[in-house]
Amino acid sequence: MLKVTVILCAAMLATTAWSKDDPAAGAKLYTANCTACHGADRAGMPGAFPALTDIGKRLDAAQIKDKIRKGGGLMPPFSQLSQQEIDDITSYLAK
Ligand code: HEC
């Protein structure tokens, strides 16, 4: 387990070194991971899942990334996503 964590951390550091946010990749990741709750059109479900259409106005990029990584409330943490993947999703959502 420790070994896996170390490899994951190394991979994250490696990707951040040359990372460039890619909203198109983020859109695919969003479809794969987030539509079940937040909807394909990011409208969410009032009362249960918040809409993410104007998320860039309510939260800054660091807060969005934090939410994806750690979850909170009824949102599960997405700790399996790489730093690059989280950056990509954030660039897709915040644009
Ligand atoms: C199992 C359902 C579920 C999935 C899947 C899910 N979310 Fe969420 N998400 C939630 C809930 C519920 C909240 C509200 C959490 C709270 O009250 O703190 C939330 C909150 C958020 C917020 C903060 C919204 C705000 O207005 O403060 C962001 C950003 C977000 N989700 C992004 C994502 C992204 C990106 C993904 C895909 C990687 C994702 N979510 C997948 C249920 C989900």
| pTM for this entry | 0.85
- Residue 11 predicted with pLDDT over 80: no
Whether ligand 1 lies within 6 angstroms of the CB of 53 is answered as no
Query: What is 2-94's CATH topology?
Result: Cytochrome Bc1 Complex; Chain D, domain 2 (1.10.760)
Residue whose CB lies within 8 A of the most ligand 1 atoms, among 59, 66, 75, for a mutation test: 75
Q: What residues contact residue 41 under an 8 Å CB cut-off, 6+ apart?
A: 53
- Residue 13 predicted with pLDDT over 90: no
Residue whose Cα lies nearest atom 11 of ligand 1: it is 75
pLDDT digit string, tens, across residues 55-83: 999 999 999 999 999 999 999 999 999 99
**Phi-psi region at 38: left, alpha or beta (left = phi > 0; alpha = psi -120 to 50):** alpha
Whether ligand 1 lies within 6 angstroms of the CB of 27 is answered as no
Residue 95: pLDDT band with limits 50, 70, 90: confident
* Ligand 1 centroid distance, CA of 29 (Å): 14
Task: Name which of 26, 24, 28, 3 is nearest 83 in CA terms.
Answer: 26
